[in-house]
Structures are given as C-alpha cells and as structure tokens.
Structure 1
Amino acid sequence: MPEGPEIRRVADRLARQLVGQSLESVWFAFPELAGEGASLEGHRVLSVESWGKALLIHFDNDRVLYSHNQLYGVWKLHRAANPPSTRRSLRVRLQAGGRVASLYSASDVSLWSAGQLEQHPFLSRLGPDLMSHGVTANDIEERLTSSRFRRRALGGLLLDQGFYAGIGNYLRSEMLFFAGLGPQLRPMDLESIQRSRLARVMRDVIHQAYREAGVTNQPGWIAHEKRQGLSRGHWRFAVFAREGLPCHACGEQIVRRMVTSRRLYYCPSCQAV
C-alpha cells in the first residue's frame, strides 16, 4: 500500500491540474453519490491535500471529496478525449479545462461539508500528518513524551496512524535505522538526545521519501550500489527489504523480524537494544 509520501505526490499532481479550475463535469460510480456530481459542476477546486493515506479535494462551495486508495485505488490524469486503457473500474471522474482526473478501483469515497470533516470516522482517528500539517521536530518530541505514547514500543508506535499519519512499513524500518534505535525500545526508555534524534529523523526520512519518490537511502551508499550495477530495488533503502545483506554503515547482516504482524528490517549492530 502506498504510504504518506506517495499519496502526497499524488495530491500534488492533482493540484497542478485541478486547483483554480472550474469543474465542467463530475461523475461518481457510487449510488449514494450519483446525484452529487451536479452540485459540484461549475465550482472551482481550491486545494488538494493528503492526510496520511487519505486524499482530500476542497471545492469553493464548502464541499470536500474524501478518497482512500486502500490497496488498489489509483488516480490517472489524462485528456478528456483520451481516457487511459485499463481494466480497472472507474469510480470518480473530474473534468476541468479539457483534462480529467479519474479515480480507479478505490472503494472508500465520500463527499463532506468542510465543517463536518472532523467527524469523518477515519480522519477523526488520525494523528497529524508529518508533511501536510507543519509538524516540527519539537512537536514530535512532545508527542513522544506524552502519556498516551511514551510507554509504547517504537516498532508498533510508528505504524499507529493515531500517532502520526502516513508512516507505513518501509518508513518505519528506515526511521528506526537512521535513529539508531531498536523496535522494542519505548520513548520513555530513551535519553533526551535519542528522542531528539528520532524526531529529526522522522521528519527527514519522510520528506526525503516525498522528494525522491520513495528513496530513503543515503547518497553515498546509493552511489556505491550503482557503481556495482545494482538496480533501484537494491539501492532504494538503507535496511528495508535487505535481509541478509551487509549494513551500509557497519557491514553486519541486516535482520528481518515480524513486529506487529508486519516485517521490519534492522541492523543488530547499529541499532541500540
């Protein structure tokens, strides 16, 4: 499933095409939304934002279109006269300026008024988005030491969307590695300097993944792998999906284990236990 950085990149692509445009036609496949398309036609798109793995399109009539791609959903951008060739099921179609944003295969789509969005059953459970909500390293440190989260093992906490939204499995492994922390440690177990480093790493890693389309490895380590002719699958990550391969930093073999029923990769030498 795409994680926060990937959804943010989709939001940015949609924004470049839609923001400021008046909608010429709107179509929904869902029976409960079938009559709603006309209420959006002629209205402008104000913004497109991501919140974790959800996407929100804001219109100038105080409406908000919520969508969650889940496992199979995908947005495709195309000219109105040239729809994509695909076997996927079309769920949403937004046309503006002769171009179309089409959502395929997603099943979680709804239309809300902006004032009621906080009542959304999924969004109301989410913590802040590390990229969309202006989260600082100090904010993260404070949240780590709060009574709600300080006793939680980091391996589970980082995947809890109520902690921070948008962190998925590959980001969890990469963040813990670059912070030098084992998954069983809790925020309350850490020294102040360790919590500060984790907070900085969380912001840095997710923003790098956004800028570099999912790449979280260090430039020097990437260059070394590329010189050996290795593919993106080998050099994209520092530890994730690298079980049995040598750690870039120390040469120790990367280990895989299951944490909260999800695979986690770490270096037993570099990450404190």
Structure 2
Amino acid sequence: MPEGPEIRRVADRLGKVLVDVPLTQVWFAFPELESMAGRLVNSRVTTVDCWGKALLITFADGHVLYSHNQLYGVWRVHRRGRSPTTGRVLRARLVAGDHTASLYSASDISLWTADTLRQQPFLARLGPDLLTHDVTAEDIVARLSEPRFAGRGLGGLLLDQGFYAGIGNYLRSEILFYAGLAPRKRPKALSEAQREKLADCILTTVQQAYREAGVTNRPTWRKRLQREGKRRSQWRFAVFNRDNQPCHACGDLILRETIASRRLYRCPTCQPE
C-alpha cells in the first residue's frame, strides 16, 4: 500500500493539472455527491494536499473533496477524452483544461468544508503530516516526550498515524535502521542525542522517499548494486525486504521480525536490542 511520500507525489501531480485551471466537468459516481457537481464545476481548485494516506482537493467556494484510496483506489491523470485502459471502476472525475483527473475503485469519498474537515472521522485521528504540515525535528523530539507516546515501543509507535501521519511499513524499518534503534526501544529510554537522531532520521528518510519515488537506500550503497545489474527492488531499500542479506553498513545478516503484527527488518549489529 502506498505510504505518505507516494500520496504526496500523487497530490503534486493532481495539483499541476487542476489548480487554478477552469473546470469543465465534475462528475461523481455517488448520488450524494453528484448533486454538488454543478456547483463545483463553477468553482475552481485552489489546492491539492494530502494528510497521511488521504487526499484533499480544496475548491474556491470552500468545499474540500476527501478521498482515501484504501487498498484498491488510485488517481490517474490523463489527457482529456483519453481515458486509461483499466478494469477499475470510475468513482470521480475532474476535467480542467486539457487534462483529466480520474479516481478509480476508491469507496471512501466525501465532501466537507474547510470548517468541518477536522470532523472527518479518519482525519480526526491523525497526527500531523510529515510532508504537508511543516513538521520540524524539534517538533518530533517534543512529541516523542509526550506521555501518550514516550512509553511505547518504537516499532508500534511509528505505525501509529496518531503520532505522525504518513509512515508505513517500509519507512518504519528504514527509519529505525538509520537511527540505529531496535523496534522495542521506547522514547523515554532514549538519550536526548538518540531522540534527536531519531527525529532527524524520520524527516530525512520520509523526505528522501518523496524526492526519489520511494527509494530510501543511500546513494553509495545502491549505486554499487546498480553497477552489478540488480533490479530496483534489490537496491531500493537499506534493510526492508532484505532478510538474510548482508547489511550495507556492517555485513551482518538482516533479520525479519513481526512487530505490531507487521513485518519489520533490522540489522542485529547496527540496531542491538
């Protein structure tokens, strides 16, 4: 399932074709939304943002279209009049200028206003988005020290979207590896230097995944693998999906564990228990 960086990239693609371009069609498959289509087509899109795995399209009249892809939903950008070949079911369509943004197979779609958006049940449970809400390393250090988070194991905490929105399973393994921390460590047991390093790794790893379309491995490590002719799946990550393979940093074999009911990968030497 896409994580925060992938959803942020989708939001950016949609924004390039929709923002401040006159709308010529707004269509929804759901009757409760279709009644608003005529009003929205007379407005315009002002921003396209994401919050965790939710995508938010804001219109000039104050309405916000909320969508969550869940397992099967996907936004596609294509030329007007040239729908992509797909077996997915069309749920929403916005046409602006020469481009169309089509939402397929998602079932969680609703309209809100800027004033009521925080009442949306999914968004109401989320912490700040690491790529949308201008989060700093200092913000993360402070949040790690809050009583509701400080006593929890990092392996579970990083997946909690109420802590920060946008971290999923591959990012969790990569962040903890770069921070040199085992997943059962708790924020309250870390030194100040360790909390600061973890905060920095959270930001830099998520930002790299955004810039490089999901790649989190260090350039020096992945370039060696690329020269050897390895596939993208083999050089994309530092530890994720690399169980029983040598750690790029120390050579020890990567372990696969189950933490918070999800698979996690770590180096036992670089991330000692």
Q: Give the shorter-chain TM-score range.
A: over 0.9
Matches within 5 A, 1:176-187: 176-187=176-187
Identify the residue that residue 109 of structure 2 maps to in structure 1.
Answer: 109
Distance 1:208 1:98 in 2: 31
Residue 169 of structure 2: aligned partner = 169
Shift, 1:32, TM fit: 1.7
Q: Deviations over 1:114-173 (max 9, x none)?
A: 100011100010000011000000000000001110001000000000000000000000
Q: Deviations over 1:78-109 (max 9, x none)?
A: 12221111111000000111321000011100
SS in 1 for 2:23: coil
Write the distance in 2 (CA, Å) between the matches of 1:47 and 1:172: 29
Matched, 1:219 2:224: no
- Residue aligning to 2:4: 4
Cα distance between partner residues in 2 of 1:272 and 1:135: 29
Distance (whole Å) between structure 1 residues aligned to residue 120 and residue 90 of structure 2: 24
Q: Which residue of 2 aligns with 1:91?
A: 91
Q: Which aligned runs of 4 or more in structure 1 are off by greater than 4 angstroms?
A: none
Q: Which runs of 5+ in 1 are unaligned?
A: none
Q: Secondary structure at the match of 1:92?
A: strand
**Identity value in percent:** 61
State the partner residue of 1:247.
Answer: 247
Query: Aligned with 1:161: secondary structure?
Result: coil
State how 1:102-141 maps to structure 2 within 5 Å.
Answer: 102-141=102-141
* Deviation, structure 1 residue 47: 0.3
Q: Distance in 1 between matches of 2:63 and 2:175?
A: 36
Aligned match of 1:54: 54
Q: Distance in 1 between matches of 2:176 and 2:250?
A: 16
Cα distance in 2 between the residues matched to 1:30 and 1:3: 26
Q: Look up the match of 2:146.
A: 146
Aligned to 2:30: 30
CA shift digits 1:214-245 (9 cap, x unpaired): 00000000011112111111100000000000
2:263 aligned residue: 263
Give SS of 1:129's match.
coil
Deviations 1:194-229 (CA, angstroms, capped at 9, x unpaired): 000000000000000000000000000001111211
Letter in 2 for 1:214: G
Q: Write the mapping of 1:61-100 to structure 2, written as runs, cut at 5 A.
A: 61-100=61-100
Distance 1:205 1:98 in 2: 35
Residue in 1 aligned with 2:206?
206
Amino acid at match of 2:162: G
Per the alignment, residue 39 of structure 2 pairs with 39
1:193 aligns with 2:188: no
How much has 1:8 moved relative to structure 2?
Answer: 0.1
Q: Counterpart of 2:263 in structure 1: which amino acid?
A: R
1:265 partner SS: strand
For residues 28 and 142 of structure 1, the distance between their equivalents in structure 2, rounded to whole angstroms, comes to 42
For the aligned residue pairs, the C-alpha RMSD in angstroms reads 0.7
Deviation at 1:34, TM superposition (A): 2.0
For residues 224-267 of structure 1, the C-alpha deviation after alignment (integer angstroms, 9 at most, x for no partner) is 11121111111000000000000000000000011111000000
Aligned length: 273
Amino acid in the other structure paired with 2:260 = T
CA distance in 1, matches of 2:271, 2:205: 16
Within 2, Cα distance between the matches of 1:162 and 1:53? 13
SS of the residue corresponding to residue 256 of structure 2 reads: strand
